Amino acid sequence: MTQSLSSDATAYAEGRLDSRSRVAIILLLAAVFVVFLNETFLSVALTDIDNDLHISPTLGQWFSTGFALTMAVVIPITGWLLQRLNTRPVFITAMSLFTAGTLIAATAPGFPLLLLGRIVQASGTAMMMPLMMTTVMTLVPPQSLGRMMGRISIVMSVAPAVGPTISGFLLQIMPWRGLFWVMLPIAGAMLIIGILRVPNVSEPRRAPLDVLSVILSAIAFSGLVYGLSSLGQAANGAAVMPSWIPLTIGSVFLLVFVLRQLSLQRTDSALLDLRTFTSRTFTMSLTMLAVSMIALFGTVIVLPLYMQNVLQQKPILIGLTLLPGGLLMGLLGPLVGRLYDRFGPTPLVVPGAVVVSAVFGGFSFLTPTTPVWVIIVAYLVLCLGLAFLFTPLFTSGLGALPPHLYSHGSATLATIQQVAGAAGTAIFVALLAIGSGGAAAELGQPGAGPVDTQALAAGVRLAFMVGAFVSLAALALAFFVRKPPAAEIPDPEPAEGTEVAAPAH
């Protein structure tokens, strides 16, 4: 045992992973790839599902909205769960939920059970990202963190990018339920491998669960995500209720939630410890990441609408058009990670932010006659810029935190991703509707006449023009992101009476 501990310590000091840590991270990366692939796997099948179940597109949109709402509710709770439980139990819980949700969706006879399956899937997905980030921050030596985050970016970029393409091909040979039947054995295999091979590498401690904080966070984040989603729907005339109602409710409960956490963190019992924001690097990185996520999600929703309704391209071609950008972003991850370890974030994020702003400026000149190859090249360049943003921002932000705040930082980061993604979708769709003079609201409406491509192109230009100005905020923040030489917040001594479990070997 002593020899093993000494060997592990030597490997860490030399910037290497011991075998146990390497197994844990490889399995977590594989599991995250599966659950991230699932997030976009259903996007091209929504029309088939609506027609088969005889539901309206507005109701069918709940397969995506319900998934996002569940993620927003569960992720903050994951921060507490990662403190209380060890690595293997959290992994098994997450993959069990994901597998069970996939089975429910595959056998669902109608809308209610299919929606339930998506919600159960989302519960497992929400746990996986913070689990991976916290485990990586705990196990990987600081001098190798950039390279590891680069590998994570492969998963985060490639899985969502290939999801629509793979499902588009599968739908050519099987009905939409087949997508879940394909996913089920993969999820089941990951669960079994996790039970057998995922080691316990974290150090659980006694952490009380504040039920009031759980309720407040659930209402706050679900209100904000739903309100932002309905903002985009309202712009197209399809909102169930005025968007200001859930947004106001979410904002009020968020304020109460923040005040509650500020009170509880004095005794280290907060559900989501907000002392992470006392680190300037974490705050700057997270803010810049949120702006980048708004840009990415806005582009991913508006660009396919433009290509399908203005350029009259088929969905399968649209998926193939966007695929190279996602692959490029993922493949550049390891290179960007190595560059981060050597030069730090500033030489990477500043050019990355410039490229993103430039592409958005270029997209603001799109017309009904823009060649498809221009879209492919521009999207590739956009993904190049984003690749130089995401890995350094993840690494700098979480690297500025002490170990006792890793789980809270990971949960906060994942929550901000969800809210920023919803905001990006809502803002860009709303701008598209405003700029098109109502032409966007007629998309998909029964009995609607031919789409006014000139008006719709004008809406696309407005959305990307505003996006270009928003992305300038990321450029301004890029100069303030630094590579933390050490945690910017001191790691306190364990409080008297606190029980800390020794890591399993």
**pLDDT per position as a tens digit, 249-272:** 989 999 999 999 898 888 878 888
CB contact at 8 A, 138 and 202: yes
CB contact at 8 A, 157 and 388: no
Angle value at C-alpha 162, between 159 and 163, nearest 5 degrees? 80
Instruction: Note the pTM of the prediction, 2 decimals.
Output: 0.76
Task: Tally Cβ neighbours within 10 Å of residue 485.
Answer: 10
pLDDT at 358: 92
CB contact at 8 A, 292 and 474: yes
Instruction: Tell me the C-alpha distance between 505 and 494, whole Å.
Output: 22
Asked if pLDDT for residue 468 goes beyond 80, the answer is: yes
CB contact burial 212-250 (16+ within 10 A = b; e otherwise): ebbebbbbbbbbbbbbbbbbbbbbbebbeeebeebbebb
pLDDT tier for residue 92 given thresholds of 50, 70 and 90? very high
Sign, Cα dihedral of 362, 365, 371, 372: positive
Q: Quick one: DSSP state of residue 144?
A: G
Asked if pLDDT for residue 132 goes beyond 90, the answer is: no
Instruction: Kindly state the tokens that stand for 157.
Output: 């970029």
Comparing 281-295, 382-396, 406-420, 436-450, which segment has the lowest mean pLDDT? 436-450
pLDDT single digits (tens) 102-129: 999 999 888 889 999 999 998 998 888 8
Closest by Cα among 82, 93, 99, 88 to 35: 99
CB contact at 8 A, 419 and 225: yes
The dihedral region occupied by 268, where left means phi > 0, alpha psi between -120 and 50, and beta the remainder, is left
> One-letter amino acid identity for 222?
S
Asked if pLDDT for residue 82 goes beyond 90, the answer is: no
Instruction: Kindly state the tokens that stand for 197.
Output: 């091979």
For residues 85-96, average pLDDT: 89
